[in-house]
């Protein structure tokens, strides 16, 4: 067994993530994670291992305790930490956002209420894209999660945890061999299966570089993502938010003179007209977001998720 500690840049309150179901996968029950930890497969070299993460609960001195039933070398742990840092957002420095947006009419109160929030993602961008493609145009997200789990079972490495099946996420070289018709049998549409297989081929063939997309500037990342078949402008903006970075861009995407995507939501949140806002007016709205665009938007998103939960809970009473 191996165990180690991973520190995060404060402030970081990982427990806030437990309110956001989209951060988690089919096998996860956020209500049990507080006590049992967060368990998932992690890629290390050519193999995958199961790890469990526990948070110390201190937003101002955040640490994660990691456990793995396998014996890992220092090099293995270093490689596992690459995935863990992305998943947990430990290297995202949101401190400038708290300074820049302390008087922002939209963000100020949310920065206080959700102090320490950082977005969770998956272990690498290929996992994020797989998940995004499978869930596209599906309103019932639990069903989408179940489909993604079935794809993992069919094409990922077979792993178990506490006697239960816990398949890893497929690597490109595994998924490129899939027949889209067989993916269709697992739930996703045939076209989604084709998108997944083609992207896998392009990654293995060197036409699409996930590491480059992870590390390039936001505008370039957006352009690279929209070049991937199956990833439109809205999906590209969503995936750009999953790079475990604080920066992002939200290009205008109008259809029939109506603004679409994240930009529309941002303008609407500031009380503007999404369909009649100039680029200059938009940049003025988000002037306090500079360099922190991805982190800032996540505060709006999680605030919305929590308010929706509260309203549903009241309606049941």
At 184-211, the pLDDT tens digits run 999 999 999 999 999 999 999 999 999 9
What digits encode the pLDDT tens for the residues 240-262? Answer: 999 999 999 999 999 888 998 89
Total of domains in the chain: 3
Same domain for 253 and 223 = no
DSSP 101-149: TTT-TTTHHHHHHTTT------SSHHHHHHHHHHHTT-S-HHHHHHHHH
Under the banding of pLDDT at 50, 70 and 90, the label for residue 315 is confident
Q: Is the peptide bond before 11 cis (omega within 30 degrees of 0)?
A: yes
Q: What is the CATH number of the domain that holds 56?
A: 3.30.310.20
Q: Which of 117, 82, 83, 111 is nearest to 10 (CA)?
A: 117
What digits encode the pLDDT tens for the residues 55-108? Answer: 999 999 999 999 999 999 999 999 999 999 999 999 999 999 999 999 999 999
Residue 238 belongs to what domain range?
122-243
Same domain for 237 and 144 = yes
Q: Of 243, 275, 305, which marks where a domain is finished?
A: 243
The pLDDT value given to residue 86:
98
Same domain for 295 and 154 = no
pLDDT of 314 over the 80 cut = no
């Amino acid at each position: 067994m191996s165990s180690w500690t991973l520190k995060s840049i404060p402030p970081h309150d990982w427990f806030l993530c437990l309110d956001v179901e989209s951060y988690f996968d089919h096998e996860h029950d956020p209500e049990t994670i507080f006590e049992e930890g967060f368990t998932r497969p992690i890629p290390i070299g050519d193999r995958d291992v199961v790890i469990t993460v526990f948070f110390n609960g201190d937003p101002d001195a955040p640490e994660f305790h990691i456990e793995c039933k396998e014996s890992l070398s220092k090099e293995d742990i270093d490689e596992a930490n690459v995935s863990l840092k992305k998943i947990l957002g430990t290297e995202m420095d949101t401190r400038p956002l708290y300074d820049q947006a302390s008087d922002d009419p939209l963000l100020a109160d949310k920065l206080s209420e959700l102090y320490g929030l950082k977005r969770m993602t998956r272990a690498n961008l290929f996992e994020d894209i797989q998940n995004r493609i499978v869930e596209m145009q599906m309103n019932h997200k639990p069903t989408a999660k179940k489909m993604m789990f079935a794809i993992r079972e069919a094409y990922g490495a077979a792993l178990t945890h506490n006697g239960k099946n816990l398949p890893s996420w497929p690597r490109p070289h595994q998924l490129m061999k899939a027949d889209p018709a067989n993916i269709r049998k697992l739930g996703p549409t045939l076209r989604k299966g084709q998108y997944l297989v083609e992207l896998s081929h392009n990654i293995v063939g060197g036409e699409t570089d996930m590491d480059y997309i992870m590390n390039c500037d936001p505008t370039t990342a957006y352009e690279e993502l929209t070049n991937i078949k199956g990833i439109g402008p809205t999906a590209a903006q969503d995936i750009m938010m999953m790079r475990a970075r604080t920066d992002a861009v939200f290009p205008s995407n109008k259809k029939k003179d109506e603004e679409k995507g994240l930009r529309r939501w941002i303008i609407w949140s500031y009380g503007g007209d999404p369909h009649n806002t100039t680029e200059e007016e938009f940049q003025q709205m988000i002037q306090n977001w500079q360099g922190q665009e991805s982190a800032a938007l996540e505060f709006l998103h999680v605030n919305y998720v929590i308010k929706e939960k509260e309203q549903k809970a009241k309606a049941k009473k």
